[in-house]
Amino acid sequence: MYIIAGLGNPGPRYEKTRHNMGFDTIDSLVTEYRIPSSGVRFHSMVGSGLIGGEKVLLMKPLTYMNLSGNAVGEAVRFYKIDPETQLIVISDDIDLEPGRIRIRKQGSAGGQNGLRHIIAQLGTDRFTRIRIGTGAKPEGWDLADWVLSRFPDGDRKLVDEAIGRAAKAAAVIVTEGADRAMNLYN
């Protein structure tokens, strides 16, 4: 079984913002693999189903970004999964240009507070993450205002394509492993 957690903030105010690309990728997986909602569990909107014959739990934590570890940690402990081989976390990344994705099997939070909280709650940074680029914060912008803003139309198309690639990468991780996904999508 795999847990795939897409990070973001709940509510209409945050839809389609830079910080919600994890949520958007989970929505793409739900549509592509027809994974039904199972309601609220582990402080998250969840859905269970199959990707390539493998059981998955899709999560959109309702804890808000900075406390994502509460939701992810609870699900990891409940299912007794190994985060290193059975957890995929999808988040935004200000160090990547819009339209780019990066897959890693471990590493620091890189300034992403949701990842930082997950690492703290799990006690390890050894889990697969897919990061989707938001582009760097422009000079004079507050970081929170930047990540909670929406993309201009020109970047939105690139981001939507990146979200689709991130969903495909998550499926490859589940079916063929993280190394294969990194070879295809990094």
| Strand 54-61 to 128-133 pairing | unpaired
**What are the residue numbers of the active site?**
19
Cβ atoms of residues 22 and 113 within 8 Å: no
What is the radius of gyration, based on Cα positions, of the chain? 15
Nearest to 92 by CA among 39, 157, 41, 150: 150
Neighbours of 6 (CB within 10 A): 32
Alpha carbon of 106 to those of 22, 63, 88, 175, 177: distances in Å?
17, 23, 11, 19, 14
User: Rounded distance, CA 105 to CA 12, Å?
Assistant: 32
